[in-house]
């Protein structure tokens, strides 16, 4: 017996999603059979709505529903402080700290020449255009600390420095609650290098 | 910043699925943004199709698209041999062995008085009706080997025996390739008890 066709088709599609293997996809497919029709309908609708109603903010390229995101529209945020991140997820993580009061700029990727991703594939030109506004005082580079993230940060720092705007990089070191014994060497090296006088 | 609404809604719904935690749901939600519109559309369609076009076989209550499943319709299968399983997934697992040539009967659950599931909530009456056909020679009870599965098998054996039809239970013992050293006691006990003369 082959699997019933609709189930096999759903299984095939779920399997392609990140982090979902063949067994999980199978389990999910059978689960759909047990769900209420209205819940399945709602899920199908939500999938399409994400695709159709989530856009990029015209200014910072974070996700939004209209033309400007909530943060760019918020007059209580400090528009003179721009935090540059790779992805919308990163801005969301930053927001969860509830401590950042500036605005964002989402690059939508990192420089990665081997994958054919150069400055033109990222929202770098758009960032430089934002910096022409006299009100911008500081740009915080918060790309990841892997090779591409570091390279992108270095590239951006080189571009921004001539404008006279302050450029900073988020700190790297031991994670809070992290145990020295179990820290990897690179993290420990960075933590030593970036030590602060007390 | 709260998450953009469509994304938050999708995240909420994905989180409810079995085996998908908050982080996986978030990752999947963001992934949908990067998928092609047509793929998202296809996924949404497949979800609804499973719900709308997968029915239960009128005879064995396995999953099917029409009124009878492929196996019940197949004249090359042995219709005198009925394998009773808990769920359609179990029949599918059995089919993967490619060695079973009989037909199935899917109970859609097991006896579980504490959850209010008695014989009337399962496809037991329908099984007994099938057994009135003189052509049935043997019923193989292939419910799981947990407490409910064993109790259901015992209950069914009691019902079927008076009809004179042969009733059997699938074997339990050490899994193939299994190591005696690591087998749990109950499995080992069953393996000893069900030893075969060579």
Give pLDDT tens digits along chain B (198 positions): 568 999 999 999 999 999 999 999 999 999 999 999 999 999 999 999 999 999 999 999 999 998 999 999 999 999 999 999 999 999 998 998 888 999 999 999 999 999 999 999 999 999 999 999 899 999 999 999 889 999 999 999 999 999 999 999 998 888 888 788 888 888 888 888 888 777
- ipTM field: 0.82
Q: Which residues of A touch B88 (CB under 8 A)?
A: 30
pLDDT for A180 equals: 81
Q: Is A159 helix (H, G, I), strand (E, B) or coil?
A: helix
What residues does each domain of chain B span? 5-53, 75-176
- Right CATH for B75-176 from 3.50.90.10, 3.40.1360.10, 3.30.70.580, 3.30.70.250: 3.40.1360.10
Q: Return the structure tokens found at B28.
A: 């999947």
pLDDT tens-digit readout, A127-185: 999 999 899 999 999 999 889 999 999 999 999 999 999 999 998 888 888 788 888 88
**Nearest chain A residue (CA) to B102:** A1
Give CA–CA dist B112/B18, Å, rounded. Answer: 21
Beta carbons of A33 and B46 less than 8 Å apart: no
In this structure, chain B runs to a length of 198
Name B83's bridge partners. Answer: B104, B140
Give CA–CA dist B121/B128, Å, rounded. Answer: 14
Inter-residue contact B111 to B152 (CB < 8 Å) = yes
Task: Measure in Å the smallest separation between the Cα of A14 and chain B Cα atoms.
Answer: 8
* Cα angle, residue A38 at apex, residues A34 and A44 outer, rounded to 5°: 90
Task: Measure in Å the smallest separation between the Cα of B187 and chain A Cα atoms.
Answer: 25
Task: Measure in Å the smallest separation between the Cα of B1 and chain A Cα atoms.
Answer: 6
Output the pTM of the full model.
0.80
pLDDT for A69 equals: 94
| CATH topology for the A5-53 domain | Helicase, Ruva Protein; domain 3 (1.10.8)
Beta carbons of A10 and B63 less than 8 Å apart: no
**Bridge-based pairing state of the strands A138-141 and A166-169:** parallel
Beta carbons of B1 and A69 less than 8 Å apart: yes
Give CA–CA dist A35/A16, Å, rounded. Answer: 22
Beta carbons of B65 and A26 less than 8 Å apart: no
Give CA–CA dist A15/A28, Å, rounded. Answer: 10
| Nearest alpha-carbon partner for A153 in A122, A190, A191 | A122
Instruction: Dump the DSSP string for A61-111.
Output: --EESSSS-HHHH-TTSEEEEEEEESSHHHHHHHHHTS---EEEEE-SS--
Please check whether the two domains, B5-53 and B75-176, share a CATH topology: no
For CA atoms A74, A76, A82, A84, give the dihedral sign: negative
pLDDT tens-digit readout, A1-50: 568 999 999 999 999 999 999 999 999 999 999 999 999 999 999 999 99
Q: CA separation (Å) from A151 to A61, A67, A82, A141, A185?
A: 21, 31, 19, 11, 20
For CA atoms B82, B87, B92, B93, give the dihedral sign: negative
The C-alpha torsion from B71 through B72 and B78 to B79, rounded to 10°, is: 160
Q: Which residues of B touch A44 (CB under 8 A)?
A: 43-45, 47-48
């Amino acid at each position: 017996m082959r699997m019933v066709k609709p189930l096999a088709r759903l299984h095939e599609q779920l399997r392609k999603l990140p982090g979902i293997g063949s067994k999980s996809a199978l389990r999910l497919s059978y689960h759909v059979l047990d769900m209420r029709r209205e819940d399945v309908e709602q899920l199908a609708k939500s999938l399409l709505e994400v695709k159709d109603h989530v856009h990029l903010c015209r200014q910072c390229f974070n996700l939004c529903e209209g033309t400007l995101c909530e943060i760019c529209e918020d007059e209580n945020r400090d528009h003179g402080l721009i935090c540059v991140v790779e992805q919308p997820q990163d801005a969301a993580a930053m927001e969860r700290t509830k401590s950042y009061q500036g605005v964002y700029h989402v690059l939508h990727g990192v420089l990665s020449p081997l994958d054919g991703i150069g400055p033109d594939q990222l929202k770098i030109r758009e960032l430089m255009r934002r910096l022409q506004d006299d009100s911008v005082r500081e740009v915080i580079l918060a790309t990841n600390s892997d090779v591409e993230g570091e390279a992108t940060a270095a590239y951006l720092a080189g571009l921004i420095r001539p404008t006279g705007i302050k450029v900073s990089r988020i700190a790297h070191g031991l994670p809070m609650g992290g145990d020295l014994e179990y820290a990897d060497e690179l993290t420990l090296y960075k933590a030593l290098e970036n030590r602060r006088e007390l």
